[in-house]
Amino acid sequence: MDNTLYIGVDLGRSTRIAIVDTAGKIIKQDRVPTELVNGRTLVDGLIDLIKQTRADAPLPIAAVGLAVSGLVDYQAQQVKVLPNLPDVSNINVHHEIVQAIGLPVIIDNDANAATYGEWRCGAALNMNDVIYIYLGTGIGSGLVLNGQLQHGVRGYAGEFGHMKIGSQDLDCSCGSQGCLETIASGPNIVRRTREQLFVDPCFATESLLASQMKNKLTCEDIVEAASKGDKFARAILLETANYLGLTIANVINLLNLEIVVLGGPVMGAGEFLITAIEQAANKYSFAHLLADCKITDGGLGNDAGVIGAAMMAYDVETAMRQ
């Protein structure tokens, strides 16, 4: 229905909301601070934002898709855990939004939503076997196998960042040790950079990052330095790429994928990082399996989550009408 629009919401420390058409094109979008006082204010603020966006839409809104940075029981449509946001586990978020707006609503994990966006409208369009990996504050992923987004028994599938990487014994926020996230997430890339600059004075005088040691060093700073040719920043990202390539190779060997799509702030390093990940994956993958698989960055950038959430809503609402 070309005269119908959908709302996609990506809920995190800030909330992105977009009006999206049936082709996945963003008509209008906004980004606002998330209400962080408690779970009640978060949900009430979210409902008000959806209502206002619906009122501002140039055409009727048919459904809403909500992507959240946490664990979602997909079958029950219940938000279980939001690690960096107020607890809403005692609130039926899905029911309250449906009651408030009177439209179909679908809730999923933000990595699944971004996967769906890249699969329906982005880099993985027309492919049946896909993994999307988000590299940011944490590391998440989504899987499409045989043309179907995979949720697992409850909806928790895709914890790529918590795959184990050999002898590493660093404590992870998940309560385990040795997770990929302890090496390759944005904050841990920063941690490794600071540690290396501290123990090796040579780097402290040669790297563009040396001046940041007394300030707030960010992953974006490291990515920018690498893009400018900084040898130390590139060495840090090359080590990151080796761990990523190893873990990606394990998934390729297991699932015989068509494409690996990489997104998130870490991928600001662009072709340099993609090439390094490809080289590492080539070292650890079966050659015949890797030959069938493309490794690339996303086509939708930061819009993957809101577009994916909206396209989930579109597909669910379309199925309900048929």
We report the CATH number of the domain holding residue 236 as: 3.30.420.40
Range of the structural domain that residue 103 is part of: 5-117+302-321
As a whole number of angstroms, the distance between CA 138 and CA 173 comes to 10
Instruction: Check whether residue 284 and residue 180 sit in a common domain.
Output: yes
DSSP, res 161: G
Instruction: Check whether residue 150 and residue 223 sit in a common domain.
Output: yes
Residue 267 scores a pLDDT above 70: yes
Q: Where are the alpha helices (DSSP H) in 186-303?
A: 186-199, 201-206, 219-227, 231-255, 271-284, 287-291
CB-CB contact of 19 with 61 (8 Å)? yes
Task: Convert the pLDDT of each residue in 1-34 to its tens digit.
Answer: 568 999 999 999 899 999 999 999 999 999 999 9
Question: What pLDDT was estimated at residue 202?
Answer: 67
As a whole number of angstroms, the distance between CA 65 and CA 313 comes to 5
Instruction: Check whether residue 46 and residue 173 sit in a common domain.
Output: no
Instruction: Check whether residue 187 and residue 269 sit in a common domain.
Output: yes
| Residues paired with 139 in a beta bridge | 135
C-alpha distances (whole Å) from 141 to each of 23, 82, 109, 207, 220 are 23, 16, 9, 32, 21
Question: What pLDDT was estimated at residue 84?
Answer: 84
Neighbours of 147 (CB within 10 A): 11
Question: What pLDDT was estimated at residue 196?
Answer: 86
Dump strand ranges (E) for the chain.
5-11, 14-20, 26-33, 61-68, 71-73, 78-81, 105-109, 130-135, 139-145, 148-149, 259-263, 294-297
Average the pLDDT over 184-196 and give the result: 92
Instruction: Check whether residue 22 and residue 171 sit in a common domain.
Output: no
Instruction: Check whether residue 270 and residue 158 sit in a common domain.
Output: yes
Instruction: Check whether residue 159 and residue 239 sit in a common domain.
Output: yes
Question: What pLDDT was estimated at residue 268?
Answer: 84
Tell which residue, 167, 261, 273, 180, has the closest CA to residue 222. Answer: 273
Task: Convert the pLDDT of each residue in 56-100 to its tens digit.
Answer: 999 999 999 999 999 999 999 999 999 889 999 999 999 999 999
Instruction: Check whether residue 101 and residue 221 sit in a common domain.
Output: no
Going by DSSP bridges, is the β-strand pair 5-11/61-68 parallel, antiparallel, or unpaired? parallel
Both tokens assigned to 304:
């993957």
User: How many structural domains is the chain composed of?
Assistant: 2
Instruction: Check whether residue 306 and residue 210 sit in a common domain.
Output: no
Residue 293 scores a pLDDT above 70: yes
